[in-house]
Each structure stands twice: as structure tokens, then as C-alpha cells.
Structure 1
Amino acid sequence: MATASISGLGSGLDTASIIEQFMQLEAASQNRLRSRQTTEKSVLSALQSLNTKVAALATRAGDLLKPAAFNAVTATSSEAKVAVSATTSAAPGSFSVRVDQTAASHRLEHATAVGTTTAGTVPTTVRLDRLDGTTPVALATDGTLGGLVAAINDPANATGLRATAVKVGTDQFRLVVESATTGAAGDFTLTDATDGSALLGGATVRQGRDARVTIGDSIVATSTSNTFADLVPGVTVTLAAGATTGTTSDVVLARDPAATTTAVKGLVDAMNSLLADIDTQTKTSSTAKGVLAGDAGVRSVRESLLASVFPGDGTSLADLGIQTDRYGKLVLDEAAFKKAYDSDPTAVQARLTATDTGFVARVKAAADVASNRETGTLTTAITGSNAAISRLDDNIADWDLRLELRRTALTRQFTALETALNQMNSQSSWLAGQLSSLSTGS
């Protein structure tokens, strides 16, 4: 509750300023709590940042533990018009692909040229029959070539066709209609819906066809498009539109040590970045002390991560190009790693991913111990830091109440003092006046 004060009314002193100075002394304890709170929030922020990076490291290591990370395959084709790509499910090997035919769409090129806006050149209702046995579609037109093109291309009609009016002379156009997709199943016809007669003098037909290739000497594969997905497990072959019939391509699938090396290097780089952050946060130098200086838990996280490079069975990963330098950071000799991987990829994969002893497996285990959502070292520290901040919030709020009560008490005391002094001054003035009057009368 606020209490009114009369500053200096009787004493002539700036009692408001005096009260403020008293309050600054009284607030010293609360200010120390605020300082501790600021420090604790910095600690919390640093812990959360480290925890996020450790969790990301665990995820990266987990991805590298998957077989696909060590099964990267590079696919090459001896013919530019026979493209080939491979996923991680592909296995090393080779095979030949002979192009028997490329895929084509079904196309009609109508014979009679007409104006696009001339009425009566096409029926007002055109029947579309797809030769896959689906229900015929009746297309309404305005009797012009332009109206028929618009009806065929209208998405609402879902014809699956593309129509074009090709100019062949002054205001003379021929109709070309083509299936939107390639393959033999895209065949169709367009006729007058009233009598079944041909449109615009009939059409030259290019039949739709599937693409066909021969693998080796006798294995034939077909596709409605020029792309053969999973022609062999994990391998997709795509024929260029201009691929010549009879073209034979030799496809080679070889392990890609560069992709695996890149993945391992990514893990090493992520670890080094995390170790550098920990070193910065835990630095104990008097000139540049880290926010987490002296935090044994964070230092233990660093030690366990760095220890993952040692298999624990008395061996070393130096022959794989993985080791530590004198600054406590990881070093990856990419050339040495590629050489070892080329020599025996299965053995390298086992040494990196084996449970308990594999480098990647040990990194993931150490990162999981630190960042586990419930029991992680850093998670526990974050929980403790949050609790400390909450307690400080409560203590600071308690001090707000104490200081308010203290200010009220001081204000009352000084107000009472000023009131008493004012009364004394008034009495003194009255007495002085009475004495003065007695002297004059006598």
C-alpha cells in the first residue's frame, strides 16, 4: 500500500532522496539474486545449444549406421542416350541394355485444313473412344475447329489428350491430337458422335507404343514410358527420345567410396564442431572464462565422445585414417580411408558400425547418453538449471514484496518526522510571538 509523504516540510531535508538511498541498500540482496539469475540463464542457453548439437550428432551417426550409408553405388552408361541412375539398394555389377524401341504417344494428324472460327467445320458433338475399354466421352463443341481444340484441352473434360491447331496457310489449320502420355495403352479415336464418321477428312495415325529393351541377350523388358524404374533392383534406366533402335549400352555399377568418405567426414566435422563449442563454453582462462567453466558433466560428454575413436579392444582406427591430434580433435585422412574402403569395404563397415566397438556406433551411444530426452547428462543439467531459475524467480518476487513493505515503513517514519517537526516549528513560532508581546506590554 502506498503512503503519502511530505518531503522536507518540517526539516528542509530531501527525505524522498534519503528514502531512495535507503532502498538501494535494502535492494542489494535482490540485485545479487538478479545477477545469479542472469548467469543461470546464460548457463541454460549454453546447455540447450550443446544438447541440440549432441542430438543432431546422434542422428547423423544413426544415419551412418544404416547399411545404405556404406552401399553407395555409382552407375555409368557407355551410351549418352541410355542414362542410368542407382539408389543405395543397388549392388555392384554390370549388364548390357539394347534399345529395341522407344516409347511413343498415340497421335492423329487430320487431313483437311479449315479456319479455326469457321462454323460447321466439325460436329457439335465429338465422340472420344479410348481403346483401353473405358467409357466413351462426348465432347460438346461450337462447331468450329477452335471450339473442338478447347473442348479436348479443357481440364474439366479429363480427356488425357493434347490438341493443337497447326497453321498450314492463310487462315487454314490442321488438327493434331496426341495422347498426353506415351505407351500402347494410350490409343484413342475421335469421330462424329451422330454417325461415327471421321473428322476433317480422316487422320494419319501414329500408333502409341511402349518402350522395349533387351537385357543381355534375351531378357526383354517393356515400359509405357522411356523410363525403366528398377530395371534391376535399385537401378533406373532412361532412354532419350532420340535413342536409335539397336543401340547397346554397357552399364557398370561400382561402389562409390567417395560418397561413404563424405558421410564419414561429415560425422567427423560435426564432432569437431561440437568439441570446439564445448571447449569454448568450459574454458577456465581468467581472461576468457566460459559460461560452463567447471561443469564436470559437460566435460565428461566431451571425453566420452572423443573416446569413441578408440574401439576399446586394443586396436586403432589409424589405418582407416581416423585418429586424434594433439589438440584433442579428430582427424580424417580421406586418402587413407578411401584406400582401406576400396580394399575391403565390408571390413571397414564392420569396424565403424559394430555394436560396442564400432567408431560410429560408439559416437551414437555417447551422444545418446548425453542427449536422451529423459536421462541424458545434458538433459538432466538443463532440468536442474530450469529449476534453479524458477527458484530465483520466486526469491526475487519475494524480495519485491519485502522492498515494497520496507519503502512503506520508511515513508511513514519520515512523514511522521516531518509532521512532528512542522508542529514543533509552529509551536516555536507561537511562543516567540507570545514572548515578544509580553516584552512590549511591560
Structure 2
Amino acid sequence: MATISAGGIGSGLDTASIISQLMSIERQPIQALTKQVTSFQSRLSAFGQLKGGLSALQTAAEALSKTEKFSAFKATVADATLFSAAAGTGATAGSYAVEVKYLAQAHKIASAGFASNTTTVNTGTLTIDLGQLTGGTYTADASKTFSITIDSTNNTLEGVRNAINTAKKGVTATIVNDGSASPSRLVITSNDTGTANTIRMSGVAGLDYDPASNTGSMTQKIASQDAQLEVDGIAITRSTNAVSGVIPGVTLNLTKANLGSPTTLTVASDTDTVKKNIEAFVKAYNDLNSMIKTQTAYDANTKTAGALNGDSTVRTVASRMRSVINESVSGLASGSSRLADIGISFQADGSLKLDSTKLDTALSDPTKDVSTIFGNAAGTAGVAADIVTMAKSMLGTGGLLSNRTDGINSTIRRLNDRKDALESRMTRIESRLQAQFTALDTTMSSMNATSQYLTQQLAALSANR
């Protein structure tokens, strides 16, 4: 059964309002703790942004921290319809005349037409070889030879196709409908290009083919062929259209022949990629610097401060970053050892400015060792390498920022524990006040009843005189 409370009936007091006001006073310490928790949560969020910004700067610096990143080359093809080219490790600058005579092709043979996909074929042991065709001589590769049994369970065109594909031995079987009176034709294609993957079939009448004489029940539709090209007049043959090892560090992917019409392949230093990486580094630094300024700012007009205003940890991060950016890399000549020497300098607001013209000049000047200014070379750590080391130290377990956020989280937990304890105390205080005012009501009600009785008795005595 629910309890009906009607505080103040006996006393005439608004006990609910009185208790509410008293509890409001009692809760002031909780409100102060809540304000502190909110402040620390704002700091924690701001430190999260700081860690994110520093991590982004670390990522940008890592792209510049290894000197080999500055040795990148790019390959450019005058006629990109003929082939694409990719330059990697080991590439050197140079220009080459490339003529693609023939593309590599996969061997393809087809059967005569059958009435349908389920038409019965002859039975027997079907042997399929892959091997080298040179001129009129065929040499099977024993490692690529396999046999399948064609019997009453699979002696249809579909059955043969499925048996070949289930074997997964370097060829693929399909059925093509050519629309004729006997439309279904079994097509066998080598999975790999080149003359070393020429197909031979034997053992089952109607499904035989001899590449040496180009005879049999099956007919050749596409001849196996190696890729043939000339690089600066030197003949090259490869079994695939992906050609590597011809030009050091460069891979060609042939797409079209240009017999008799060489095109030019140019391999040059890829300063564009280096410059983009440097631009990304400057942007990451400026983003982090801007975030720090915002979080540590103080507005005298509104008397409001950023979440990290006056925080010594943030000052340490900003100071170390500026110090690294401003450093002179040891072992390099004066005038070629600092970021300012290649066009990256500080502005009045603490941000970095990139002089693109000066950077382009430095990247093309062999006397400006840009790679060492940024990266690690012969045991000397450059600016980007030092930024990476600094960021890892600050962000890692036990690092400056990790310890700071751990400390804030610990403080928030302690404040919340105190709030919980006070909330429990508030419950007890409110219960006590309600009990006290209920007792007051009861007492006042009793006293009022006694007062009314005495008043009635006195009135009666006066009336009887």
C-alpha cells in the first residue's frame, strides 16, 4: 500500500519547500565537485585533441624520416596506351626507347560444335599437358601434366568442363555457344601467358590437340605467345606482359604493341612526391600549433580561458616542437643544415611558412642535402626523425602526454567517488529532515488538539457561572 505524505498539516509549515531549500544548501559541495569534473573532462578532451594532432605530425614526419624516401623515382611513358611503368627501389634516372613488338598471349583451343552442353562425348583418360612450343617442337612440362577420367558419370560437355576445372591444374574450361546448328563448343584456355604454357590434349577422341603440328579434333583459336620488346635496340623476351629486371628498379606492364614505332620511357627523380610530403609535414605542424594556441588562449574581454590555459605539459610540448624545428642538423654545412635553409621558416604567430620556390631550388640542388636535414643518415638524426622520436616518447606508455591524461582520468575518478559518497550522505540527510519535520508535525498537531480542548473547557466553565 502506498504511503500518503502530507507534511505541514500539523504545523502549518511548507515543510517540502523548507527541506528542498535545506538540501540545496547541503548539495553545494556536490555542485562544486561537478564543476571540477566538467573542467577536468574538458582538459581530457583537449589533451585528446593534442594527442591526435601530435600523432598526425608524427605520421607526416615518418614519410620524411628515411633518406631513401628522397631517392624516389617516377617513370613516365610518352605513349601511355602502350604500357605503364613503375619505378621502385634500385631505379636510376635515364631515358629509354621502348618498342613493344608482341604482347604475351595465353593459349586457347576449342572443340568442334556439339548439339548441347549435355551432349555425350567419348570416354577414356584425358591427358592435358602444358609445355614449351618452339618452332614445330613441343616439350611437355611434367610438373604441369595431369589426367582426368571421362566415364559414364561425366561424359558430357558439361561433365568434361567441370572435371577439368575441378582439377585446377593450370587451365580453365568453358563452354561457348556460337549460335550455329551445333552451337556448344568446349574452350580450353591456359591460365598463364607465354609459349611455355602451350596446351596439348590426348586420350579421348574428339578432345585431342597436338600443338607441334597444330592438328587434332580441337582447333587453335589464340596461339600462345611470349611478350617481345626492344629496349634501346636490345631484344627482350618474357612469358608475361609484366616485365621486370630489364631496367633496374622499373617494372613495365605491356598493354599494346607498337611494332616499328618506339616510344620514350623516362625515369627521373620524383621531387613531386617529396614536396607533397614536406607540405603535409608543414600543414600537420601548423594544425597542431593552431590547436595549442586555441586551447591555451585567454580572452581578457570575456575573461574566459582555453581548457589547457596555463598547463605546463602543453608548454613543454610546444617548446620541444619549436626546438626540434629550429635545430641545425650536425654534420651539414652552414647554410644547408636547417629547415629555414630550404624554405621552411617560423612566422610571428609560431606557425611555419613554406617558400615553395626556395624548396624547389633546394630539391634540385645537389649541394643541399635535403634528405639528411629531414631523415636519418649515417647515424645523424634530422628534423623529421627527431619529431618521430619525440612524438613516440610523448604518446607512448609512460610518456609525457600519456602520464598527463592518466593523471586527469585518475582525478576524475576520485572526484566522482567523492560525489557518490556525498550523494549517499544527501539521501541520509534528506531522510533525517523528513523524519524530523514529520515529528514536528505530529507534535504540533497534538499540541493544537490539546489547545482546542482546553479552550472548549474554559468556555464551558465561563458559561456555567
Tell me the residue number matched to 2:396: 372
Q: Secondary structure at the match of 1:237?
A: strand
Q: Distance in 1 between matches of 2:427 and 2:408?
A: 29
Distance 1:326 1:252, change over 3 A: same
Mark the runs of 5 or more structure 2 residues left unpaired by the alignment.
131-140, 210-214
Give a deviation string over 1:314-338, Cα, whole Å, max 9, x none.
Answer: 7553331111122221011122211
Q: How does 1:358-369 map to 2 (within 5 A)?
A: 358-369=382-393
Q: Distance in 2 between matches of 1:139 and 1:440?
A: 134
Q: 1:341 corresponds to which letter in structure 2?
A: L
Distance 1:17 1:125, change over 3 A: farther
Tell me the residue number matched to 2:371: 349
Q: 1:411 corresponds to which letter in structure 2?
A: Q
Q: How does 1:93-132 map to 2 (within 5 A)?
A: 93-99=94-100, 101-110=102-111, 112-116=112-116, 119-120=119-120, 122-124=121-123, 127-131=126-130, 132=141
Q: Distance in 1 between matches of 2:380 and 2:37?
A: 41
Distance 1:42 1:108, change over 3 A: same
Q: CA deviation at 1:397?
A: 1.4
Tell me the residue number matched to 1:137: 148
Tell me the residue number matched to 2:75: 75
Q: CA deviation at 1:403?
A: 1.5
Q: Secondary structure at the match of 1:39?
A: helix
Q: 1:422 corresponds to which letter in structure 2?
A: S
Q: Distance in 1 between matches of 2:238 and 2:69?
A: 30
Q: Distance in 2 between matches of 1:214 and 1:432?
A: 130
| Native 8 Å contact 1:73 1:86 kept in 2 | yes
Q: 1:333 corresponds to which letter in structure 2?
A: D
| Native 8 Å contact 1:113 1:168 kept in 2 | no
| Native 8 Å contact 1:61 1:267 kept in 2 | yes
Q: 2:425 corresponds to which letter in structure 1?
A: R
Q: CA deviation at 1:149?
A: 7.0
| Native 8 Å contact 2:95 2:266 kept in 1 | yes
| Paired residues, number | 433
Matching of residue 302 in structure 1 with residue 318 in structure 2? yes
Q: Distance in 2 between matches of 1:357 and 1:204?
A: 63
Tell me the residue number matched to 1:91: 92
Give a deviation string over 1:118-146, Cα, whole Å, max 9, x none.
Answer: 844x325571412332332235676555x
Tell me the residue number matched to 2:439: 416
Matching of residue 270 in structure 1 with residue 284 in structure 2? yes
Give a deviation string over 1:70-124, Cα, whole Å, max 9, x none.
Answer: 12211123454143111255332344445454312112244x444235844x325
Tell me the residue number matched to 1:282: 296
Q: Secondary structure at the match of 1:382?
A: helix
Q: How does 1:321-400 map to 2 (within 5 A)?
A: 321-344=343-366, 347-353=369-375, 358-376=382-400, 378-400=401-423
Give a deviation string over 1:139-168, Cα, whole Å, max 9, x none.
Answer: 5676555x367436x743425224343526
Distance 1:217 1:117, change over 3 A: closer
Which of 185, 205, 210 is residue 226 of structure 2 equivalent to? Answer: 210
Matching of residue 430 in structure 1 with residue 457 in structure 2? no
Distance 1:403 1:416, change over 3 A: same
Tell me the residue number matched to 2:133: none
Q: CA deviation at 1:17?
A: 1.6
**Greater CA drift, 380-389 or 28-37:** 380-389
Give a deviation string over 1:327-380, Cα, whole Å, max 9, x none.
Answer: 22101112221111112287111122257773323433443443233122x222
Matching of residue 156 in structure 1 with residue 166 in structure 2? yes
TM-score w.r.t. structure 2 length?
0.82
Q: 1:237 corresponds to which letter in structure 2?
A: L
Which of 211, 220, 227 is residue 242 of structure 2 equivalent to? Answer: 227
Q: 1:311 corresponds to which letter in structure 2?
A: E
Mark the runs of 5 or more structure 1 residues left unpaired by the alignment.
none
Q: Distance in 2 between matches of 1:394 and 1:197?
A: 85
Q: 1:364 corresponds to which letter in structure 2?
A: V
RMSD (Å), alpha carbons: 3.2
Distance 1:338 1:4, change over 3 A: same
Which of 303, 309, 327 is residue 293 of structure 1 equivalent to? Answer: 309
Tell me the residue number matched to 1:24: 24
Q: Secondary structure at the match of 2:116?
A: coil
TM-score w.r.t. structure 1 length?
0.86
